[in-house]
Amino acid sequence: MRSEAAAKLPVVFFGTSHFAVPSLDALASAHDVIAVVTQPDRPAGRGLRERQSAVKVRALELGLDVMTPERLDAAFAASIAALKPALLACVSYGKILPEALLSIGGSTALNVHPSLLPEYRGASPIQAALREGRTITGVTVIWMSSKMDAGDIALQSEIAIGADEDLGALHDRLATVGASLLAEAARMLDAGALPRRRQDESRATYTRPIDKDDLRIVSSSPARTIVDLVRSASPAPGAWLVYEGKRLKVLAARLEPAGSPLVSADGPGVAAADGIVRFLRVVPEGKRAMSGAEFVRSTTARR
């Protein structure tokens, strides 16, 4: 029987965003995370001050060694190989790991992806599931390959999407599920029992990075489509439209029957193709977030 100390895998963790933090915590609590690789500090915010990634912040709190390479070149791969990791764990890192890393001898590379692969490969799987009104999504741990999100499936877990769940809430839930699934995958890898099955390429779908025009609310769309778009972009970056001549972000919305007033005490609205979409939380141009009711009161007072 393995001792507790012998069961700890030497792990190099690749991650950048908040989505990866629970997975880093899960591995650090059970294994020997010998290095954390994350994106370099980048200018962010209104003052464009250098900001550390969420993973770097957490890794430093945990006292872990952090690496921030600009390029994953051969020299970097050699430096990782010298650490002799048993597991390369990649969660929302922001770059595809090159073959030089994936082929390090004695190491297995696993990736956590927030979808039920092979659906929604690519950059925005959570947003796509919400935007398309899906009621089921999930997390997949794959054996990494050099082709984006196409590696063999190790473990997969389904979850139901709440009727009013938005991007922020679903993101956090999937991050927690992903952390548990990755921890289980590491345990099974250590036991030599991690499953492996090929993805069905005929079912593969793809997502891409989202730009601001993708998030524009088109009032001629079905009402449900507008509400799902709002959910897929809340709390950030926010779906938007031009409302009474100014840009208005919409963070929460609900369906109302056709014939409902365009402006009510609960907030402004738009007439969609098949009903009214009421805006319940908004960000007026140049202002803070507020309820739809507060927005109506403020605009009424100015008239």
In this model, does residue 292 exceed pLDDT 50?
A: yes
pLDDT band (50, 70, 90) for residue 302: low
pLDDT digits (tens, 9 = 90+) for 119-175: 999 999 999 999 999 999 999 999 999 899 999 999 999 999 999 999 999 999 999
Cα(104)–Cα(97) distance, integer angstroms? 12
Gap between the Cα atoms of 250 and 282, Å rounded = 4
Give the up-direction half-sphere exposure of residue 286: CA atoms within 13 A in the CB hemisphere: 1
Quick one: which of 169, 24, 6, 158 has its CA closest to 91? 24
Collect all residues with Cβ–Cβ distance below 8 Å to 152 and sequence separation of at least 6. 142, 143, 145, 196, 197, 198, 199
Side-chain half-sphere CA neighbours of 58 within 13 A: 24
pLDDT in tens, 12-30: 999 999 999 999 999 999 9
183-194 pLDDT per residue, tens = 999 999 999 999
C-alpha–C-alpha distance, residues 168 and 163, integer Å:
14
Q: What is the percent of the chain where pLDDT is above 90?
A: 91
